[in-house]
Amino acid sequence: MGPTSKPFEIFCGTGGVGKTTLATSRALFLAASGKRVLLITIDPARRLKDLLGLKEDAVGEVRQVEIDGVRLSALLMSPEKTIERMAASGNTPDLASNRIVQILSKPYGGMNEILSLVEVQMQFESGNYDTIVLDTPPGAHFLDFLEGIGKIRSFFDKSFVEIFAHIGEKSGKAGKRLFGLGIINKFVSAGVKKLLSYLQNVTGAKFIEDFVEAVQIIYQSKDSFLKGISLQEKLGEKSLCNWFLVTSVEQGRAQEAVELKGHASHYIHEDHYLLLNKCLENIVKDWSPVKTNLIDVKTTLEEKESGLKKKLKESFTNILEFPEVVSLSPAEHLHILTEKWKTYAS
């Protein structure tokens, strides 16, 4: 028996195991069953763009796609677009226009994971979807997404709240920059003051003013950031989230899956699934070679896959198997995997 649908369904795994394709097939299966589904990828490689035939201008925007007559929503994560939505919803236009924030919100600017959390939470709160299927970055990088929660907490801890609340009370819009510099000089440690002094010598006073203003602006949007923290609790509840760890029967992948589970053990609840992709069992069993060398090949493939499954059962309670798809057509690939999800629902 397979998993029942939940508000959040997270797919993680190492690169090249078919994680994005399986996430997409799951989204299609749920949409075909009548669910309102949003498929989000926060993988910088954006394989989902090619898989769904989306154009570059679709990045960062929710798009309606149709595959095999099934419609669902898809979003290619863009930190810049998330910042724009936060600025609009929080009535803080400076958040989108500050040049430091713009740099930090580039795809590799350092805020991608934090903003991904915020984006998922905003889409969930919209009430437009029954299920959000999330395609995470490959390998242990998906932990950066989850650890973004800790980064939010660290930034908005009690001391920062007190400092910036004081800034908000004392500074008007016209004098915000200069007052911000004064507060920084008063409260930050000697080490940070030395760093700011060094940066001012290298970059000029304008950069330091922009930096302080950026911190102030981010604090003004703290509600959106702090809501991202609540996402951790939702992802840890069995009733709200399905976790799918994806691997394949290819050489060395089993150990990668076990290690990934170990790294994420404090995030993933016990009621999770291992998706074993590219299985050859059904293909090989119908193969009846005559030549001795080909018989040996068949035996080797069967024994290798059987041994792998036995090893994985030592670490995973729920294992769902998906076949190797011998096709160059992405549409056919998705169709076959979507049909496989149906067998686990029956």
pLDDT at 46: 66
pLDDT at 70: 94
pLDDT at 106: 76
Confidence class for position 208, pLDDT limits 50, 70, 90? low
* Separation CA 138–CA 175 (nearest Å): 45
- Letter string b/e over residues 105-116, b meaning 16 or more CB atoms within 10 A of that residue's CB: beeeeebbbbbb
Task: Give yes or no for a contact between 218 and 248, defined as CB atoms under 8 angstroms apart.
Answer: no
Confidence class for position 76, pLDDT limits 50, 70, 90? very high
Is residue 86 pLDDT above 50, yes or no?
Answer: yes
pLDDT at 108: 62
**What mean pLDDT do residues 157-175 have?**
48
Hey, which residues does 245 pair with through a beta bridge? Answer: 12, 274
More confident residue, 179 or 230: 230
Nearest Cα to Cα of residue 298 among 309, 308, 288, 310 = 288
Task: Give yes or no for a contact between 20 and 242, defined as CB atoms under 8 angstroms apart.
Answer: no
pLDDT at 178: 41
Give the model confidence (pLDDT) of 42-56 as tens digits: 876 667 888 888 888
- Based on its alpha-carbon atoms, the radius of gyration of the chain, rounded to whole angstroms, reads 24
Tell me which fold the domain 8-87+113-147+230-280+317-345 belongs to. Answer: Rossmann fold (3.40.50)
Domain ranges of the chain: 8-87+113-147+230-280+317-345
More confident residue, 306 or 177: 306
What's the CA dihedral at 17, 23, 24, 26 to 10 degrees?
120
Confidence class for position 193, pLDDT limits 50, 70, 90? low
Confidence class for position 288, pLDDT limits 50, 70, 90? confident
Provide the token pair at 333.
């690939």
DSSP per residue, 108-147: TSS-HHHHHHHHHHHHHHTT--SEEEEEPPSTTHHHHHHH
More confident residue, 167 or 228: 228
